Amino acid sequence: MNLFDKMIDKTLAQLNGLSTIENARLATPSRTWADVGEHHMILEKETAYELGGQGTLGLSGCLYTTEPILFPQGVYLYGKDLAQITKSQSYARLVFVQLEESHSEEALYRKIREIDYVCYHVHPEGYMARISPVCQREPVRISRKALKKGISFADIGQMYLTQYHKIHQVKNINVIYITHTGYNYRALDGLLCKAEQITQSLNHIFTTVNMDCNTCGLKVVCDEIEELRELHFGRMIL
């Protein structure tokens, strides 16, 4: 499946263009940050700052490939780490997943949906993510207490890596955090919206009985992406 490959290539090129900072693959932390096991509330009075709050953008997205086009597996940070941030600002959390080839496109789609739900099962102590998958938003509150304990993106990213690798067929994972103030978050927002439209189109193709293009609001997406059209018409023939 290469529906997202061009988006991955474009995003990696943008990140490589951030030459004013160290494009760092973070070291694996020696400790395991606590997972509280369920969504927890961080009150405003307990909050050090918000990522993606107070008029800024907090973006998240997961893109998939079966090709070896990703960075070496790990957690990457472009910008300041949590301890270095002092006020609310824009940020993004991206996850790029390389999957093993499957016997069918539908099987890959089912695996994508399984991976998409991982974000609802990671609950770092002192790190409250408010996930809105429809618009690819993920504002986060960081507690003062967590900062004092030394919370970092390496801690959070490693928790995600552990969960993703519980899923069969995952070959390589890049968990990427962007906090660089010079990054074009608006452009990334548009790209992630397109990625979500592709996922919605796949969902429609593999779960919807009605395949009438004239009544489908996602027709414009299928018209633009050839592989989606091929999947759609293949399902119609079946």
Residue 63 belongs to domain with CATH number: 3.30.1650.10
Residue 212 inside a domain? The answer is: no
Supply the pLDDT for residue 237.
Answer: 40
Number of alpha helices (DSSP H) and beta strands (DSSP E) in the chain? 7, 8
Supply the pLDDT for residue 52.
Answer: 94
Report how many domains make up the chain.
Answer: 1
Residue 163 inside a domain? The answer is: yes
Residue-number span of the structural domain to which 115 is assigned = 5-184
Tokens of 36: 């509280």
Residue 28 inside a domain? The answer is: yes
Residue 202 inside a domain? The answer is: no
Supply the pLDDT for residue 57.
Answer: 94
Supply the pLDDT for residue 209.
Answer: 47
Alpha-carbon distance 193 to 197, whole Å? 6
Q: How many beta carbons lie within 10 A of that of residue 15, not counting itself?
A: 17
Residue 196 inside a domain? The answer is: no
Tokens of 109: 């789609």
Supply the pLDDT for residue 3.
Answer: 85
CA 146, 150, 151, 153 torsion-angle sign: positive
Residue 205 inside a domain? The answer is: no
Residue 189 inside a domain? The answer is: no
Residue 79 inside a domain? The answer is: yes
Task: Report mean pLDDT in 10-residue bins for the chain, 238 residues.
Answer: 85 75 78 92 96 91 92 93 95 95 77 86 94 81 97 96 92 95 91 83 67 52 52 45
Displacement of CA 136 from its chain's centroid (Å): 8
Describe the strand order of the beta sheet including 47-51 as a list of residue ranges.
47-51, 140-143, 127-129
Supply the pLDDT for residue 42.
Answer: 96
